[in-house]
Structure 1
Amino acid sequence: MRPLTLRALALVLLGVVPLACTGAEPEPPATTSPVPTARDTLTPGAGTVGEAGIGDPDFPRDGNGGYDVAHYALKLSYEPSRKRLEGTADVRARALQDLSRFNLDLRGFTVAQVQVDGADARFERDGTELIVTPAATLRKDAAFTVRVRYAGRPDAIEDPGNLGTYGFNFTPDGAFVTSQPSGARTWFPGNDHPADKATFDFEITVPEGLTVLANGEMAGRPRTASGRTTFVWRERNPMATYLATMTLGRFHLKEGRTASGIPNVAAVDPRFKGSLNRLYDLSGKITDYWAEKFGPYPFGSTGGVVDDFDAGYALENQTKPMYGGFDPYDSIIAHELAHQWFGDSLSIRRWRDLWLNEGFATYAEWLWGEHANGEPAETQFKLAYETASQGMWRYPPGVARPKDLFNNSVYTRGAMTLHALRKRVGDDTFFDTLRTWANDHKYGHVTTEEFIALAERKAGRQLDDLFDAWLFQPRKPRL
């Protein structure tokens, strides 16, 4: 567990460092990267064996190639006293090539059975890869369903360079589940990379008295029998695996609707019961305001969850942002809810474009400050420009750093890129660009070059100098 430091809290109050993720002081990159081109895309595998990696050049082993997942149906049972998870995962997918073999990501657990379209399949383990050989080759474009039966003790990932502890985290009364960047594999088998989004059904059974909070909306009322309660949640909109959650424990809940009518669910661990009304009210107000600025809210419900796990960060789990072990400030809530547009609805296809998530959400903090406190975003921009460390300037946000994804440059310099664009093109064009960006790519994937192309189209001129200076050069841009 990693509690927040006083320095981190002070920086949050200044609006310089968001709490969505915390990173180490960036070091200079070994090389710099030019503005990306169309060829910098995911590279599919060939032949009849799905690759053990989806093709992300900076994370070559993440995800899996050869297929595209459409839907996950997860039937899970968790016993906190034993820290034991039992599950049956049905993964519905389409073959992108002929497949005699393919991989799923799964960390730990004992796998009892794997079936493909109802027929037993051979399987083997290689680290976090579950290698599946179906009884017959799957032909290109064929729809198929993989069923995996598994059980065991979840094993969260310890990665000091990227968040610290993530995945399925134990709490005194349940679990705090935040999986960015690659922790979904700690609790279900799948294609664990944001390039492959899918819809989700969750059927989760826990001891009576506990509450399960998953993505989307609850389908019917919880069912209790023989001392155990089953919750069914459904997320009907495509979602990256790292945004999936099954956070559970004892919670105080408040449910209702925002002023504009969006269903709103807030939940807090009893340790934070005094923050329930504030979390509920602010989540509703901020969601409605972002809908005015960015376009209609893309999902079926909003809200937030505060759990008793000292994560030291928050995460934008789709429809249910998670706050780990602290009462979130309004700027943090603004950050995580902005992600519902930028990061959740609009997802990156490769991790090198992370600034499209974190830079946008950090800039949203500055926009909320303008709206709620009358503090111009220009003030935050100048403060960051004057006080940021040399490390941030040496590491441009458009260059991926696999062992330090969530560094200050991606957040603060990413936000500064957007403010520099706003100053160059004016408010009308800038906010029209954001709304068009969110609308045109709703539920899809985005890349940096696509955003640059849109910004230039809206501005009616080239902006290469601006984006190159702020995103790709390892030096402090001139104002």
Structure 2
Amino acid sequence: MVQAGRTPARRRGPAVVAALTCVAALGVGGCTRDDDGGFRPGAADAGDPYVPGHGNGGYDVSAYRLRVRYDPAADRLTGHATVTATATEALSRFNLDLVGLDVSRVSVAGAAAEHRRDGDELVVTPSRGLPRGAGFTVEVDYAGVPTAVKDGVLGNGGWLHTADGAIALGQPDSAATWFPVNDHPSDKATYQVEATVPDGLAAIGNGVPGKRSSADGWTTWRWTESSPMASYLTTLVIGDYRVTTGTHAGRPMVTAVAAGLPADGPAARSIARTGAIVDFLASRFGPYPFDAYGGIAIAEDRIRYALETQSRPVYGPGFFRAGRPDEAVVAHELAHQWFGDSVSVARWSDIWLNEGFATYAEWLWAEHTGGRTAQRAFELQYAATDWSKPSVDPGRAGLFGDAVYKRGALAVHALRRTVGDETFSRILRGWTAERKGGTATTADFVAYAERVAGRSLRLLFDAWLVGGIAPTLP
């Protein structure tokens, strides 16, 4: 992003063993619910203090299939969600995050399930207990007027009704405002989305485009993201857009520019550089990790940031007010496709792993195009940095602060200076390959860098990421 958790599995006691024996005899989901027999409610929180109430425990989602229909005139969304998951505990019930929308029906493994609302939580009680290790499918029918989520510390996100449609976007809040979800980056999943909107409007999402169909004045747009995706990286942009579909390096390239922006203006020219910038970044970070490319330029002034929505970043209009392309923001959001999207944070306190590398990519791109060198950017930023603010665990108020972005980038370049270009390249390319599609922490990255470098780097990272005084220049 650029601005203009789950509960540990319990040990298998006798009651859980009995439940698994029941599965063997009757098949998955074949045991009746018995809270005293080992089945327990899943946690209603992923346990991340940066986003209290987000995410849930007791299960791991592998796939979401969403069918939504949105009528901008009424600002009404209707949806059907199919969530495929595996129980990581013996569950008597579990939660899904869902903000504001009304639920009419829930089923688990094809059987009707009890459900109730508890604030922004949908509490689901299946007709039969879910033994640990059991795969299951949840289907939810829901509808209503979706809302934005306002958080004065972390910024606004969610579903924003616009003059010509809507935008679902935000970090860390967005997904739960338009579909039921385990809303924390520690639980990534694949997505299939069908979005039906009035004829003449676009509905642009993540991943590979599917076949469009129209009937009775409505058009259905289809999108598939087959690589695991954190929920906050989902997007759905609905409205009057000029959509261009082509290919790059044998993969779909879909870009969209709001009709209210000039067809040949700075926003359009900026996202037109997507292919060239991705190719350069791939030479530094390793192969591009997804099946599609693209970008979306919006004209909504309430969005004062750009976000690395997976495979197709969304850019707010503020980056292009100067009347010229802004390739730095495109380089930043595309770098996130490796750092943040493919390799995601397991907890929000480690967000520098996303933003530090993306900021460093801006320095690399500027150098590549004849601008300031990465070394000079490092020197200037070093002199301007407030070392009292840490990059790791910056606090909720510092989640999108300079310590995360700029001090994080300083740490990346300090690593490069310390281990040398060849080893630095092996660390970056190996990290993105080994962790592709997964999650990681700062400790994971430090351990990996030490393994590749063949030396201890703990003091280096401590000094550059969390130390309270300016480190010695390497």
22, 42, 49: which is aligned to 1:50?
42
Corresponding residue number in structure 1 for 2:242: 252
Please report the RMSD computed on the Cα atoms of aligned residues, expressed in angstroms.
1.6
One-letter code of the match for 1:436? G
Displacement of 1:325: 2.3
Superposed CA offset, 1:62-88 (max 9, x none): 200000001101010001111111111
Structure 1 partner of 2:157: 166
Does 2:233 match 1:243? yes
Aligned to 1:450: 444
> What count of residue pairs does the alignment treat as equivalent?
437
Residue 271 of structure 1 corresponds to 260
Matched, 1:332 2:329: yes
Q: Provide the residue aligned with 2:285 in structure 1.
A: 294
* Separation (CA, whole Å) in 2 of partners of 1:384 and 1:118: 57
260-269 or 463-472, which deviates more: 260-269
1:176 aligns with 2:173: no
1:61-120 C-alpha deviation (Å, 9 max, x unpaired): 220000000110101000111111111111111000111010000000111111111211
TM-score (norm 2): 0.89
Distance in 2 (CA, whole Å) between partners of 1:103 and 1:129 is 6
Q: Measure the CA separation in 1 of the matches of 2:342 and 2:208.
A: 16
- 1:120·1:135 contact (CA, 8 Å) conserved in 2? yes
Residues in 2 aligned to 1:159 and 1:322: alpha-carbon distance in whole angstroms: 20
> What CA distance in whole angstroms lies between the structure 2 residues aligned with 1:114 and 1:43?
24
Of 360, 370, 373, which aligns to 1:363?
A: 360
Distance 1:131 1:44, change over 3 A: same
Q: Which residue of 2 aligns with 1:8?
A: none
Output the CA distance in 2 between the equivalents of 1:436 and 1:81. 49
Q: How does 1:410-449 map to 2 (within 5 A)?
A: 410-449=404-443
Residue 466 of structure 1 corresponds to 460
Give CA deviations for 1:400-442 in whole Å, capped at 9, x if unaligned.
Answer: 4124311111000000000111111111111111000101111
Measured after TM superposition, the shift of residue 176 of structure 1 is 1.7
Partner of 1:7: none
CA distance in 1, matches of 2:194, 2:244: 22
Indicate whether 1:375 and 2:372 are aligned.
yes
* 8 Å Cα contact 1:58/1:400 also seen in 2: no
| More deviation, 53-62/133-142 | 53-62
Selected match of 1:223 from 213, 231, 243: 213
For structure 2, the 5+ residue unaligned runs are 11-38
Q: What is the rounded CA distance, in whole Å, between the counterparts of 2:415 and 2:272 in structure 1?
A: 32
Tell me the percent identity. 48
Aligned counterparts of 1:43 and 1:109: Cα–Cα separation in 2: 26
Which amino acid counterpart does residue 195 of structure 1 have in structure 2?
S
Alignment-mate amino acid for residue 54 of structure 1: A
2:305 to 291, 304, 313: 313
Q: Is the deviation greater in 420-429 or in 279-288?
A: 279-288
Which has the bigger relative contact order, CA under 8 A and spacing at least 6? 1
Tell me, what secondary structure is at the counterpart of 1:160?
coil
Residue in structure 2 matched with residue 210 of structure 1 by the alignment? 201
- Partner secondary structure for residue 448 of structure 2: helix
C-alpha contact 1:87 1:149 (8 A) present in aligned 2: yes
AA partner of residue 313 (structure 2)? P
Q: Using the TM superposition, give the Cα deviation of residue 450 of structure 1 relative to its aligned residue in structure 2, in angstroms.
A: 1.4
- Using the TM superposition, give the Cα deviation of residue 183 of structure 1 relative to its aligned residue in structure 2, in angstroms: 2.0
Note if contact 1:266-1:279 (Cα within 8 Å) is conserved in structure 2.
no
Q: Does the aligned pair in 2 maintain the 1:99–1:137 contact within 8 Å? A: yes
Extract unaligned runs of 5+ from structure 1. 1-18, 23-40
**Amino acid in structure 2 at the alignment position of 1:368:** W
Provide the rounded CA distance (Å) in 2 between the counterparts of 1:148 and 1:170.
23
Higher alpha-carbon deviation: 355-364 or 151-160: 151-160
| Distance (Å, rounded) in 2 between the aligned partners of 1:462 and 1:257 | 44
Deviations 1:26-64 (A, max 9, x none): xxxxxxxxxxxxxxx754265611001123254442200
In 2, the alpha carbon distance for the partners of 1:155 and 1:271 equals 24
Q: Is the 8 A contact 2:308 2:333 kept in 1?
A: yes
> What is the distance in 2 between the residues matched to 1:21 and 1:322?
12
2:116/2:123 contact within 8 Å kept:
yes
Cα deviation, residue 223, structure 1: 1.0
User: How many angstroms apart in 2 are the aligned matches of 1:372 and 1:43?
Assistant: 47
Partner of 1:105: 97
Equivalent position of 2:2 in the other structure: 20
Q: CA deviation at 1:170?
A: 1.6
- Which of 140, 144, 153 matches 1:148? 140
TM-score w.r.t. length of structure 1: 0.88
Give the deviation of 1:277 after TM superposition.
4.9
Secondary structure of the corresponding residue to residue 105 of structure 2: strand
| Structure 1 contact 215–317 (Cα < 8 Å) conserved | yes
Give the Cα separation in 2 of the matches to 1:231 and 1:149.
19
Q: Is the 1:95–1:140 Cα contact (8 Å) retained in structure 2?
A: yes
1:385 aligns with 2:349: no
Code of the aligned partner of 2:101? F
Partner of 1:354: 351
Cα distance in 2 for residues equivalent to 1:122 and 1:43: 23
How far did residue 138 of structure 1 move?
A: 0.8
